[in-house]
Structure formats: structure tokens, C-alpha cells
Amino acid sequence: AQKITQTQPGMFVQEKEAVTLDCTYDTSDPSYGLFWYKQPSSGEMIFLIYQGSYDQQNATEGRYSLNFQKARKSANLVISASQLGDSAMYFCAMNGYSTLTFGKGTMLLVSP
Amino acid sequence: DTGVSQDPRHKITKRGQNVTFRCDPISEHNRLYWYRQTLGQGPEFLTYFQNEAQLEKSRLLSDRFSAERPKGSFSTLEIQRTEQGDSAMYLCASSSGLESYNEQFFGPGTRLTVL
């Protein structure tokens, strides 16, 4: 079975600062993918970034980067230069054969 | 807009009533997923279709829940004899299955409140 753990219920950051959201995972599958989604108050899940278990380099997408440490089974999301619009719930997820397993999420609040 | 759409966005019903939700995936996507999200939790997988075939169902999908995708396009999720514990956000997602990582695109969700 797959499991995603997000230990930070909430995080606060000031605008323009960087923030790291933690994610650890557990799986027995040799091949897997890790995702981060953003969920604003409107409810829609917005895909941010993906990291494959065999990818040699950490994934980056604009201001988002994924700090992937395979031996530690962690896949932390780093948001650089936070913006007010980054305030939302953030979910880490792992894909199985066909579905996604999500963590409980971290609420990020960006202050001016 | 060619994203995933869901209808209705909100539904309030009384305990014991039946409800049905609709999901229209991105048109070229052959995979469709239903998830349920309760307050303070991440989405939990319910069921998955490839074209019209329902390939996987979670143990969360009790006998009161049924999902269909009759022509491999839109899908419906029906809950019979609703209970207060069914109150949640029901999310639909679709994917093409072509990318190596099978990115899923989510709709805005249907928020169900059972009184």
C-alpha cells in the first residue's frame, strides 16, 4: 500500500520569501511518481509539479521545485519568491497503477 | 473552456434521498476518475474508468454508490439513500494516459451536504 505523510498542517510565509512544504512517502513499488497539487478556496485541484522515481534531477516548474531525496523517501515542495496568490492548500500525491494517493495537505498563508 | 466540468457545483439533500452528479472530462481523455474529499483531508480515490469500462473501485465505494460512463465520454456518480457521512466534495478528474506520468486534470468538484 502507498502512503503519503504531510506533517505540517499550516505554514506562514511573508511575500517574496521562499517556503518548503514537507512530504514523505512510503511504497513498495520500484517505480512511482510524486505530484504536488494546489487547491485554492474555490476547490479545484491544480497540478504544479511531477517527479518520477527514476528521474536523475529534481523537477522544476517556474517558481516551484521539488527536493527529491529517494533514500529518505521525501519529496518536499519549494516555492521561491512567494506571492499572495500562493495562499492555498497544497497536497502531495503518489501515483499507483492508475490512481493517486494524497496526503492530508498543508495550508499555506502568504502575508504581505 | 475545455477543462473538466462538473454539475452541479453544490447539492443539499435530506438524508435518505438519492443524488446524481455528472462529470464531463476533457474531450480527448479516455481515463476518468472519481475522488471524495472530506473536510481536512486529501482526496480519496473512489473509482476509475478507461473509456466505458470501470476498471477499479475503492472499498470506499459502498453498495449505495454507483458510477457509470456509458459511452466513454461523460460520467455519472449516483449515491442512493444518502447518509450524513456522505457529505463531502466529490471530485472528478481525467487523463489521456499518454504521458509517462499520467497527469490527472481535476474539475471544480461537487460539494454535497446531507442534512
pLDDT band at B60 (very low <50, low <70, confident <90, very high): confident
- B42 and chain A: CB distance < 8 Å anywhere? yes
Give the per-residue pLDDT at B99. 65
Residues of B with Cβ-Cβ distance to A46 under 8 angstroms: 106
Q: What percent of chain B has pLDDT over 90?
A: 78
Grid cell of A48 as nine digits: 504544479
Grid cell of B97 as nine digits: 494516459
**DSSP characters for A6-47?**
---SEEEEETT--EEE--EEE---SS-EEEEEEE-TT---EE
How far lies B69's CA from each of A99, B30, B36, B77, in Å?
17, 11, 18, 9
- By the 10 Å C-beta count (0-12 exposed, 13-18 middle, 19+ buried), B76 is classed as middle
Q: Cβ–Cβ of B101/A103 closer than 8 Å? A: no
Give the per-residue pLDDT at B1. 55
Q: Are A7 and A63 in contact (CB under 8 A)?
A: no
Give the per-residue pLDDT at A1. 80
Q: Which of A43, A98, A105 sits opposite B109 (nearest CB)?
A: A43
Q: What is the pLDDT of residues A62-84, one digit of tens each?
A: 999 999 999 999 999 999 999 99
